[in-house]
Amino acid sequence: MKARVFVTLKPGVLDPQGKAIHHALEGLGFDGVNEVRAGKLIELDLADGTGDDAIESMCRKLLANTVIENFRIERLP
């Protein structure tokens, strides 16, 4: 079973990596970019039958820093 975890910074948290990407895009001539936010994507290959609770626990304990980050779990068939 596969699952994807998307980790993004909470709104209001400064994102220097996103700012750097934004700046670089402008330098390459891409106009019309208002904002860039950088996050993480973690693809998990799990044993069948792994519950949502287990995946959420992985996120809370390791994959995301819930003080400054949100996470979203997507299970793939």
DSSP helix/strand/coil, 9: strand
- In the complex, which residues of this chain contact a second copy (CB under 8 A)? 6-8, 18, 21, 24-25, 28, 30-47, 49-50, 54, 57-58, 61-63
- Which residue type occupies 71? F
Considering the complex, state which of residue 42 and residue 73 has its C-beta at the smaller distance from a second copy: 42
**Residue 4 Cβ vs a second copy, minimum distance, rounded to whole Å:** 9
**Residue 3 Cβ vs a second copy, minimum distance, rounded to whole Å:** 10
What is d(CA 1, CA 12) in angstroms, rounded to the nearest whole number? 34
> Token digits for 22?
């934004």
